[in-house]
Amino acid sequence: MRLWWSRLLAGANQQILMLAIGWRMYDLTGSAWDLGLVGLFQFVPALLLALPAGHVADQHHRGKVVSV
């Protein structure tokens, strides 16, 4: 249960951080283009690492993967 709560709070924290970064970028520049680039650069690492991370998770013991 503790793992579930920590994952939930970490995910919420990540979303709030992404919102704050985008908000700050728009506040500084006033440009929707720059705001879109921030969103793209936040999304690309997850997109690029999703398949390799899935492969690693499938190849190793579930308990070890979760603990990392």
pLDDT tens figures, 2-55? 889 999 999 999 999 999 999 999 999 999 999 999 989 989 998 999 989 888
What pTM does this model have? 0.65
Report CA-CA distances (Å) from 42 to 21, 36, 68: 10, 10, 22
